[in-house]
C-alpha cells in the first residue's frame, strides 16, 4: 500500500517539475543576452541557437576573425564585441558597449562561457604561473565579467549562467582547470544566495567531456610535451618516460570518448535563460550523469581508489 502511495507521489512530483520547466519567459525577442567565448565551441553554437530563436544576442569574441565568422552565419540582430576576460580594461570597455545597447531594459542574460584547459599536467610538473594562466580565464575572468555586468542583470531581474564542469565536482587531474571549476561552483553558489532577493537567478552548467577547441588532442599533447621538456631531470626520472607515454595514451582515449554533440550543453544553457523556472544545476553528457556526479557523492577514499585505477604508475614508487 505505502509503496503505491510513494510511487504515485514521485510521479506527481516529476509531472509537476516537467510542467514548470516547460513554461518559458515571455517576450524573449526583447531580451538581451551576452555570451563570452563565442569564437568557437559552446559559445559559438549557443549564440547561433539563441539568435535563431529571436533573442538579441551580444556575442563576445576573443578575436576579430572569430567575430566575423559568427556574423556571417547569423542574423543582423546578433552583435559582436571583442573581449579578453583576463583584461580588466577590455571588460570595462565591453561593459560600456553592452550598457549602450541594452539601455534602460538591462541585460537579461549573462553566460560566462569563455574558458581554457591548458596548461594541464600532474601538479608537480607545473609552476605557479601555469596555474595562474587557467585561473585568470576560467575563474578570475568570470568573476570580473560578472561583477562588472551584474548591475545590468539586476536591472532586468535576469539570469547569470556560469559554465563549470563535472571536474568542479571530482578533481580528476592536476593543474588549474579543476581548481578553477571548483571555484566557479563556489562563486555561483554564493552569488545565487545574494541575488535571490533581487530576482536574479544564477545557474551552473556542468558538462562532461565534449569535443571543443580547448580539448583537441593536438593542443593537449603539445601542452603535455612542452611541460615535460622543461622538467628537472630528477623529476623526469621519478616518473619515467613510460609514465609520459601512458599519460598521452590516456589523453588520446579520453579525447576519443568525448561527445561531439555540443547541443547537449547549449540546450541546458538555453533552458537556463528561457525557462520561467530554471534549474540551479544542469548536467550535460552521460559521463556526467552516470559517472562523475554519482562519484562526487561517494566517500573520498572510495573515489580515490576508483580514479587511481586509470592513473599510470610512476617509475619510482613507495
Alpha helices in 54-87 (DSSP H): 64-72
Active site residue 311: no
CA atoms within 13 A on the CB side of 190: 7
CA 122 to chain centre: 22
Judge if the upstream peptide bond of residue 119 is cis by omega within 30 degrees of 0.
yes
Q: Tell me the backbone φ, ψ of residue 208, rounded to 5 degrees.
A: -85, -145
Beta strands in 229-313 (DSSP E): 281-284
Which among 4, 13, 177, 282 is annotated as catalytic? 177
Q: What is the rounded distance in angstroms from the CA atom of residue 153 to the CA atom of residue 158?
A: 5
CA atoms within 13 A on the CB side of 147: 10
Largest Cα span, the chain? 69
Catalytic residues: 177
Amino acid at each position: 500500500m505505502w509503496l503505491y502511495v510513494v510511487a504515485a507521489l514521485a510521479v506527481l512530483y516529476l509531472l509537476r517539475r516537467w510542467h514548470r520547466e516547460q513554461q518559458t519567459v515571455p517576450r524573449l525577442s526583447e531580451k538581451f543576452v551576452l555570451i563570452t567565448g563565442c569564437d568557437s565551441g559552446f559559445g559559438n553554437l549557443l549564440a547561433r541557437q539563441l539568435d535563431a530563436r529571436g533573442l538579441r544576442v551580444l556575442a563576445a569574441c576573443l578575436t576579430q576573425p572569430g567575430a566575423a565568422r559568427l556574423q556571417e552565419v547569423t542574423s543582423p540582430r546578433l552583435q559582436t564585441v571583442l573581449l579578453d576576460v583576463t583584461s580588466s580594461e577590455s571588460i570595462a570597455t565591453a561593459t560600456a558597449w553592452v550598457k549602450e545597447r541594452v539601455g534602460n531594459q538591462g541585460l537579461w542574460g549573462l553566460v560566462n562561457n569563455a574558458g581554457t584547459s591548458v596548461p594541464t599536467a600532474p601538479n608537480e610538473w607545473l609552476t605557479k604561473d601555469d596555474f595562474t594562466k587557467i585561473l585568470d580565464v576560467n575563474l578570475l575572468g568570470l568573476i570580473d565579467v560578472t561583477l562588472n555586468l551584474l548591475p545590468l542583470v539586476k536591472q532586468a531581474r535576469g539570469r547569470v549562467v556560469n559554465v563549470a564542469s563535472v571536474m568542479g565536482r571530482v578533481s580528476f587531474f592536476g593543474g588549474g582547470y579543476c581548481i578553477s571549476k571548483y571555484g566557479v561552483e563556489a562563486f555561483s553558489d554564493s552569488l545565487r544566495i545574494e541575488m535571490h532577493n533581487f530576482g536574479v537567478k544564477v545557474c551552473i552548467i556542468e558538462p562532461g567531456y565534449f569535443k571543443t577547441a580547448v580539448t583537441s588532442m593536438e593542443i593537449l599533447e603539445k601542452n603535455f610535451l612542452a611541460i615535460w621538456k622543461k622538467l628537472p631531470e630528477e623529476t623526469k626520472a621519478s616518473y619515467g618516460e613510460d609514465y609520459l607515454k601512458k599519460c598521452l595514451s590516456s589523453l588520446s582515449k579520453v579525447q576519443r570518448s568525448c561527445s561531439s554533440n555540443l547541443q547537449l550543453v547549449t540546450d541546458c544553457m538555453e533552458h537556463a535563460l528561457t525557462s520561467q523556472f530554471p534549474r540551479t544545476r544542469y548536467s550535460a553528457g552521460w559521463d556526467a550523469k552516470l559517472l562523475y556526479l554519482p562519484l562526487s557523492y561517494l566517500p573520498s577514499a572510495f573515489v580515490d581508489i576508483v580514479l587511481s585505477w586509470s592513473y599510470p604508475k610512476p617509475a619510482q614508487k613507495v
